[in-house]
Structure 1
């Protein structure tokens, strides 16, 4: 009988220890925000939210200040109505993008909508980019300007058009 009580006592102590360890380990997620649940910029570009519109991985590719530049990224409409997003680099309107409800429009790359303009900042700098929607208002970001040094961007940097003869 004494052995049974001792064995039961050890089991109760072991169960209590396991319970305390479980509570201690789960306490980390109860008191700290789970970082992977937060939206973030997963690549070189910036992420922005403007009403129902989310812009992902926004960046500008150019070879130099004053050279042709191309906007890269994606625009997603999480709303139930189509939306038009106006994009302005500095004081120059570079284009508009119509995004249907619950869809994404790619910008640049090999298959996305082409938005080109003249670079006002050199690679390595940031340039102001304003996104504007009717319902969501407007938002200005400092978007990174990159060149073709990274292999993923090498073929996406726009080249100057040959001068007319």
Structure 2
């Protein structure tokens, strides 16, 4: 009788280990950072650019829609530089310490001469102060979806 109990316990432990054991070696998807929406994210020093997209119907002028979070202790001026039809162009925005600034929603954050068709990725170089900047490939979307229709410049 005792041998049967020991065998049952051993069998239960083996089944439990086999069924749940893969959880010990399988990576958890919730620990992976990824861009969960249509836009893209970037971190430059204490500044985060969140869910950046460019909305354009004609591929000539675009509205940069993003949130810029300043996690630093000082106000910063963030530069968005891109290759336009006229050469290098840049647009700037100032963000106070500890603040998040939304661009392109209440009023258009216009990028002129973007030369990027909807469906493409537009390279934008983001930089502030003496921090090393980063090139971000920002998706260009059109206004065909209702959530973007009001964002077309």
TM-score (norm 1): 0.75
The SS at the match of 2:118 is coil
> Residue 94 of structure 1 is aligned with which of 91, 94, 103?
91
Equivalent residue for 2:105? 109
3-state SS of 1:43 partner: coil
- The residue number in structure 2 matching 1:130 is 125
Report the CA distance shift for 1:104/1:27 in structure 2 as closer, same or farther (over 3 A): farther
Q: How many residues end up aligned between the 2 structures?
A: 148
Q: How many angstroms does 1:31 deviate by?
A: 2.6
8 Å CA contact retained: 1:75, 1:99:
no
Q: Deviation of residue 43 (structure 1)?
A: 1.1
**Paired position in structure 1 for 2:76:** 83
Shift of 1:150: 1.0
What TM-score, normalized to structure 2?
Answer: 0.80
Cα pair distance change 1:35/1:93, threshold 3 Å: same
Q: 5 Å matches for 1:22-41?
A: 22-41=16-35
Q: In 1, Cα distance between the equivalents of 2:102 and 2:13?
A: 50
Correspondence for 1:146? 141
